[in-house]
Structure 1
Amino acid sequence: MPDIVYVVDDNASFRKAIQLTLDKTGYRVVTCASAEQLLDQRPDENAVGCILLDVRMPGLSGPELQSRLTELGWTMPIVFLTGYTDISITVKAIKAGADNFLIKPVSEDQLLRAIKVAIARHEKERALRGELEALRARLAILTPRQRQVFEVIVRGKTNKHAARELGCTERTIKEHRRVIMEKMQVQSVAELVRIAERLEVLGPEPTPRDD
């Protein structure tokens, strides 16, 4: 399915011109005359794409829509298009996560380049989120005891230390370790450590008690 571009601008002739440009380059184009219209129809988060967003519009402004989309958890990149140069708005939008900020009139090459970069970033972020979701799903199928062993292993403890810490035999730790690596679909402890770091599942190591 072609990548999608949402064009949100209250200027009908501008929307039409952008649509003609993007249609001939193979993008799916959805035009909206207001921020509210985009919110009503909801961007397709399952699609790869970006949002071309005007800054000043009746009703919700572009930056206000950006904030609303962030609150709703929508991650599609935003490329702002505006006919007004306002450094403070530009800086605020970029800090809030906007992918680019273009001043009208914008050349076709500049526009297409900005869209290409934004969509490439969206595609990469979606792939990373998919990987993280898969890793979380694997971690979730560990039993509570396996989760304990997992956390001890990725802290760099030997089987002997793990057995002592968890009150079991080294043989039991070895078997848990084998099952954990099978469930997590890895071949080495180094891979388990990388997964723990990516999922940020480890807090500070417990301080031993002085008994």
Structure 2
Amino acid sequence: MVGIEYILSLYNMQYITLADRLGIKKQNINMWIKGKQKIPKKYLPILEEMFGVKQEYFVKELNEIEKLELQKEKLKKDLNPVIECYEKQFLMDEVNGLVDVPIYDKEEINKMERTIEKAKVISKFKDAMDIVEDNPYIDTYKLMAELMEKAQHEPLVHKTLQSLAHYFNILPDNVSTGLDQDDFEEEILEVFENNNY
């Protein structure tokens, strides 16, 4: 779905209302949505100001994560949440991995943040599976899916995955959940070395 169409539906705005505000005909909006005509550059700053959404979102095909991000921004405008504190989290898209993630006083915003992170993880998982046509490690992915389904809250699974992430330099060394995790990693990495892995 093209951005302008999604944004209008998100804000419950009719095409005619937008056309009136921009001083143009409703048909122009229809042409933009159907992709028969590009949104003229002179209207992009006006749309950005009107909705509080970056210009590029109006003209592109939106993926599911971008739609969720737009929903979050609208929710923030509607609820005016206050940041209560920041929590350090590891985010894969970041350069150093660790970022300060805001925790809001409105649970709706925090829930939306978790939904967005979940969507990003699912997207990364799918991308990892699609790297090669006939993935030779499909059994590994099946096993990972079973573990996530049946033992996702098991500390041993989390510790092992974090250890593997450190072993393969996916997680930076400064990301740790404490001495207990560090001791566990030392032991499991010793097992790897003893077995010539």
* TM-score bracket for the superposition, by shorter chain length: under 0.3
Q: TM-score, normalised by structure 2?
A: 0.27
Which of structures 1 and 2 has the bigger CA Rg?
A: 1
TM-score (norm 1): 0.25
Write 1 or 2 for the structure with the bigger share of strand.
1
